[in-house]
């Protein structure tokens, strides 16, 4: 059954995934959660297993991406204002995935500097 699904997003906790799942289901999209019960039974292993995965049917994936991009929470600055992309000025900025360039950052990822990525133009910036 999982063969016909794609991962739309991952969440550290199941409550966030449930909210997004409910919105997508209300729009008529076929959705499934993976590793939800595992994370609920022991939240400390969420990062180790990659969090709760929100799976969307292959047929509904493009529509689900559009809806998810409208409802997702974007990054704000210290004043609570939306961050803007330096390239396209869009206010759809997310934290970029960690690069973990060397062994030190693999062992201690919290020392790696936070980079941001624009969801509109995919520009990575600091």
Q: What strands lie across the sheet with 116-118, from one edge to the other?
A: 93-95, 116-118, 124-125
Instruction: Please report, for the chain, the start and end positions of each structural domain, with discontinuous segments joined by +.
Output: 2-71, 74-126
Q: If you average pLDDT over residues 109-119, what whole number do you get?
A: 85
pLDDT above 90 coverage of the chain, percent: 51
Q: What is the pTM of this model?
A: 0.67
Q: What does pLDDT average to over the chain?
A: 89
pLDDT of residue 92: 87
């Amino acid at each position: 059954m999982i063969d016909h699904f794609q991962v739309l997003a991952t969440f550290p906790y199941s409550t966030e995934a449930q909210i997004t799942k409910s919105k997508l289901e209300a729009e008529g999209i076929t959705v499934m959660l993976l590793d939800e019960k595992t994370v609920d039974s022991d939240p400390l292993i969420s990062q180790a297993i990659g969090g709760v995965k929100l799976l969307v049917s292959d047929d509904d994936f493009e529509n689900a991406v559009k809806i998810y991009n409208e409802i997702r929470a974007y990054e704000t600055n210290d004043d609570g204002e939306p961050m803007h992309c330096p390239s396209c000025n869009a206010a759809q900025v997310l934290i970029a995935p960690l690069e973990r360039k060397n062994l030190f950052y693999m062992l201690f990822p919290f020392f790696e500097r936070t980079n941001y990525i624009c969801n509109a133009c995919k520009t990575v910036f600091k």
